[in-house]
Chains A and B, each alone.
Chain A
Amino acid sequence: MTVEHGETSSAQPLIPLHCLRHAEPGPPRLTALPNGTPVWLATRHADVRQVLTDPRLDRATLFAPDAPPTSTGPNLLDDPEGLLNIDGPEHQRLRRTVQRAFTPRAIARWRPWVETVIEELIDDLEAAGSPVDVVAGLTRSLPIAVISRLMDLDGVDLQRLGHWSDHALSTSAYPAEQVRQAMREFYAFSEQLIADRRKNPGDDLVSSLLLAAAETEGVTEGQLTAMVCGLVVAGHETTMTSFGNALVQLLSEAPEAWARIAVDLADATAASEQILRAIPLSDATALPGLLRRAVADLEIGGVAIAAGSVVAADIRTANHDPEVYPAIGPLDHFAPLGTPSLTFGAGPHHCLGAWLARMELELGLHRLANRLPGLRLAGPLEEISWREGLLTRSPASLLVAW
């Protein structure tokens, strides 16, 4: 099922992410990863939440010597020293070195600056004239500008960072050896950045991470290196994916929602939450969900799972669980969400950058709709070229007109 590199112009156009159908949630069932490894798939909201929060399920033992193979190929998320793959007290200690920079209040302080960046990017879009590629102009540029500022990456070759980020989340877009080479370069960059910031600390995220790590017992260089790479990648990929796919949905089928988002920031906030819930970040072809491994026998949704089993949390299906989110008709962008969506995960590995992503998405949508209320897709949905073979899928470019 994996998408092969170079299929961008395949005869069968890919379905936009918001048009994908969702499976009916049900009790955990035994299925298999693309490589054949058996996996328990959780799909109901409550079950997915349990998989992500229950301490009897972890990430670290996915990489234990006795673990069945689960890797989709070399990628950043499978680094055993990455924050994602550490559990328990060690994870809490490591995460605290960066958590403070990502609290809702810490993120809110960046808001006026992020707004300025958005306005400048939209100025440039307007100056370029209709039609224009909104991915190059805004949905990719904004997250890169933000993470570069937070990490103080001024003077760093952003194209190289983008190249490394793409490879770091590749499933089939690039040959394994090419991914390994890109990862080696990426890690070398990270090690150099860490060495520089130790010598000349600033008020950036890398410096504050290093200061906090120096006061924390047991943090290794490998963990810091992986963390810096992780921050770069997270800043690049996921917000861009969500923003791009949101525009595909809004501009192709929701003009009334676009008009409301333009006028009222609160409406943009509500719409962002619904978009984050309803539009998945990927096709789930490489992995059926977020993986965990049972470290003890347990029960999920009435089903017995044996210690050692691999379990996948299917966030996409759980985010459409009719028990939690009654689905009547097309997406209501402004319906209050009630129960939080599982898009940012749950439990100890809940997305560190959730508030940053929310802020970029809601401000980006609000300002773009406000400045260009008549914005529309310049071409048909079938002609969108997608970024393929990565852990996420979003438009590689998106021509818009006004």
Chain B
Amino acid sequence: MSAAGQELVVRVDRTRCVGTGACTWTAPEDLELGPDGRARPLRPVSDDRPGLTEAAEMCPVEAITVLSAASGEVVAPL
């Protein structure tokens, strides 16, 4: 996999999000709680695969999806 292939995009389903904030502790450079108490991405692409994978897997309402920026494939949760 090339370096560009390591780039990830995180998406938050803001309807599902119940604002537990767990993801903002796991991946603080990529996710924050907005003023409406819902999580939102902080940057267009990220390389924090461990942090984002854990954020997606641990989200109690499965509101987080992590995709490969290059292929659009789902990286987490799997």
| Chain A interfacial positions (CB closer than 8 Å to B) | 49-50, 52-54, 89, 92, 95-96, 99-100, 102-105, 338-340, 344-348, 350, 352, 354-355
Contacts and interface: CB of A to CB of B under 8 A. Distances in A.
B25 A346 contact: no
Given A95-B22, A338-B15, A347-B21, A50 B37 contact: yes
Interface stretch (B2-10, B42-50, B53-61, B66-74): B53-61
A121 B19 CA distance: 37
B51 interface: no
A354 B61 CA distance: 9
Contacts of B20: 346-348, 350
Contacts of B21: 53, 92, 347-348
Interface of B: 15-16, 18-22, 25, 33, 37, 57-62, 77
A340 B18 contact: yes
B19 A347 contact: yes
Label chain B's interface by main secondary structure. loop
Contacts of B22: 92, 95-96, 99, 348
B16 A53 contact: no
Contact of A347 (B15, B16, B18, B62): B18
B33 to A, nearest CB: 7
Nearest to B61: A340
A49 B37 contact: yes
B60 A346 contact: no
A104 B18 CA distance: 15
Given A49-B37, A92-B21, A347-B18, 15 more contacts: A52-B19, A53-B21, A53-B33, A53-B37, A92-B25, A96-B22, A105-B57, A340-B16, A346-B18, A346-B19, A347-B21, A348-B21, A348-B22, A350-B19, A352-B60
Contacts of A350: 18-20, 60-61
A99 B16 CA distance: 18
A178 B15 CA distance: 44
A105 B77 CA distance: 9
Find the residue from B15, B18, B33, B58 having the highest chain A CB count within 10 A: B18
A100 B60 contact: no
Find the residue from A52, A99, A352 having the highest chain B CB count within 10 A: A99
Given A49-B37, A92-B25, A347-B37, A339 B15 contact: yes
A204 B18 CA distance: 28
A52 B20 CA distance: 9
A89 B61 contact: no
Contacts of A54: 37
A222 B33 CA distance: 30
Given A49-B19, A105-B77, A338-B15, A346 B37 contact: yes
Contacts of B62: 104
